[in-house]
Amino acid sequence: MEHNLDFGAEAQANHALAVLRAQSFDRKVASGEQFSPGVFVLLDEESDTSVHATSQPGTLLDLSFKTRRPGRWLSLNIQMGECDLTGRDIAGFMCKVTSEATMTFRVCLRSGHEGGFQDAFFGKRVISYSAPSTHADLMKLAERDDVPAQAPWRELMLFLPPDVRQISLKDLALFGV
Q: Which residue has the higher pLDDT, 106 or 4?
A: 106
pTM above threshold 0.85: yes
Task: Choose among 32, 43, 35: nearest CA to 161.
Answer: 43
For residue 58, the model assigns a pLDDT of 80
Task: Choose among 100, 35, 95: nearest CA to 65.
Answer: 100
| Separation CA 17–CA 175 (nearest Å) | 13
pLDDT at 23 over 50: yes
Mark out the alpha helices in the chain (DSSP H runs).
Answer: 11-22
| Separation CA 100–CA 89 (nearest Å) | 36
26, 54 contact by CB (below 8 A):
yes
